[in-house]
Structure 1
Amino acid sequence: MLTVDFDRLGVKPGDKVIDIGAGAGRHSFELYRRGADVIAFDQNADELADVEKMFVAMAEVGEVPAGASARVEVGDALNLPYEDATFDVVLISEVLEHVPRDGRAIAELTRILKPGGVAAVTVPRWLPEKICWALSDAYHEVEGGHVRIYRADELAEKLTAAGLEVRGRDHAHALHSPYWWLKCAVGVENNDNPLAKAYHQVLVWDMMKAPWLTRTAEKVLNPVVGKSVVLYLEKPREPSVVKAPR
């Protein structure tokens, strides 16, 4: 399940790309399939160990183009261990809502992006997230949980202040919003609720089969209740005035 549209982002074979907060690797795997030189970066070493195994398996079965490379690196998004202007593409998906010092993380991802490079930043959308918070404290009041709800314009302002230019905006995963509202209503840890189980089966079916009905429904509903907002950005070739991160 991809949140970022890599065609829209413009990822090309040979691009040097970092997926910050890669988690289980869903975006990193697609970047590797597209021929990029990928770093899956995360603070969770256990998850990255599984991502590394998948990278190896993908190469062994010929699932990636010749010349592509992929590796994992453990680290902190607030202190990225790379030189300035290292990457052609920077991706950070569903991460900033977890980070108390989000300004620092934004400054770091901007720093390592090359002038003329592109980035994609995704976070939970304001309205679906607000409903989840209203329905359940357990949804967000957990260790490593969400610390804020973004409005898209607020996030765009923070990214612009760091020196990036917003080139586009999109929404994704509308069918997932009602599922999470339902989970919050019945209990986020309640995996036996029949309605939640049935809805989850529908989502799995949609992801595996991509039927016309659900794909069309999600496309229509994304502008209204898409679970995530995606900002597509570019770092200007000419330096701009950058505000200090908070």
Structure 2
Amino acid sequence: MVLKIDHLTGGYAGVPVIKDINLEIKPGEALGLIGLNGAGKSTTIKHILGLLRPQKGKISVNGIELSSNPSAFKKQVSYIPEMPVLYPELTLQEHLELTILSYNLDKEKAKKRAKELLQQFRLDDKLDWLPIHFSKGMKQKVMIVTAFLADTQLLVIDEPFTGLDPLAVANLIALIKQAVDNGKMILMSTHILADAEQAISNYAVLNNGTIEVVGSLQQLREHYGLKAADSFDKIYRILNQEQQHA
């Protein structure tokens, strides 16, 4: 049981954005994917989701390769996008039912889990609402609820904290910790490291389409020569300087 990315090169229209990426996430591990805008984070995520076809390399979850068995691969993965994507004609209740059908979940267990998640994110009285009635933050909560309802082995989370109120952020962090404790794999892209570090143990730094370093916050501090008084966000300034001199 592992997410394995082997020598992945990919991008758009034949132009490589990410180059020879090797990455592995084991059960019970939450990995943060960080880097400047344009570093390749979104491109990496799109490849993992099967939205882009690799130019080289392969991606597998639990030994199931995306290229050879995309349907089985995708049943192992749930996704929380940066911008919520909901069906405008479906109510919240119907979004939950669609998730249950798509992942072939046990209906009774899934309904019980959905009720818990809806109460946690204060959506339990919104089941008949259409997406047009939801704020951006509420739509994001719907994406979180459906992703964790799916109960997949791998959760891919892209900039999840944008638009969430502090209570929802705390609830999401608690869910990530719980998923890790249950042996799930988490890949999260974020710039908000103060929140991320509460749930994430290791980080992969993308710079100009390559992984520069993988390790804990302390290991990243040592790699970039940060002093004890330096904010972790100084890494972004260092990455920017590296790009300017590349």
What's the TM-score once normalised by structure 1's chain length? 0.29
User: Which of the pair is proportionally richer in strand?
Assistant: 2
What's the TM-score once normalised by structure 2's chain length? 0.29
